[in-house]
Amino acid sequence: MEKISLYEHRVSYYETDQMGIVHHSNYIRWFEDARVDFLEKVGFSYAKMEEIGIMIVVLGASCDYKVSARFGDTIVVIPKISEFNGFKMTVSYRVYNRENGVLLATGETRHCFTDLKLKPVRTKKEYPEVYKIFSDYIGVNLDGEGIYQ
């Protein structure tokens, strides 16, 4: 199991709103960016998924906002597979300000695995190599150095 680098993002001007902070909807987008980044790093890029005919559908998303990110901040998103049973998966996220290590938000997204026609796929049986990848990362905190607490 390889060590995974954390997902970083520089806050764009267009992500702010008139309160002078990042609009809360963008965190849901950052979760996706961090998830895509993570999937690619473990060898399960979208290209790969399409190739083998698997989709990871979003069933739910939530975010708790603690401290506002602002324009120019570099944020770090740390995803973790908190649940996975071969068919459904929950990914949790922590968002930090990279510079000062302040925890800005936490959240999670819930997913299921389907084929390209949105029919549920049970990876354990049908795609054991996919099953293994996700199983291996259940509960793994990608921040191996414990930089962000």
C-alpha to C-alpha distance for 39 and 89, rounded to whole angstroms: 13
Of 5, 46, 52, 120, the one binding its own copies by CB under 8 A: 46
Piece of 32-40, 81-89, 95-103, 121-129 that binds its own copies (CB under 8 A)? 32-40
What's the distance, Cα to Cα, between the start and end of the chain in Å? 22
53 binds its own copies (CB under 8 A): no
Tokens of 139: 């509960």
With a CB cutoff of 8 Å and minimum separation 6, the contacts of 114 are 54, 55, 56, 57, 120, 121
51 binds its own copies (CB under 8 A): no
Piece of 42-50, 74-82, 88-96, 131-139 that binds its own copies (CB under 8 A)? 42-50
Size of site (CB under 8 A) for its own copies: 33
Tracing tokens 């819930």 back to the chain, one arrives at: 110
Compute the least distance from the CB of residue 128 to its own copies, in Å: 26
With a CB cutoff of 8 Å and minimum separation 6, the contacts of 79 are 7, 31, 34, 35, 38, 91, 92, 93, 142
Of 1, 4, 5, 21, the one binding its own copies by CB under 8 A: 21
Please report, as ranges, the residues that interact with its own copies according to CB under 8 A.
10, 12-14, 16-21, 23-26, 28-29, 32-33, 36, 45-47, 55, 58-65, 71-72
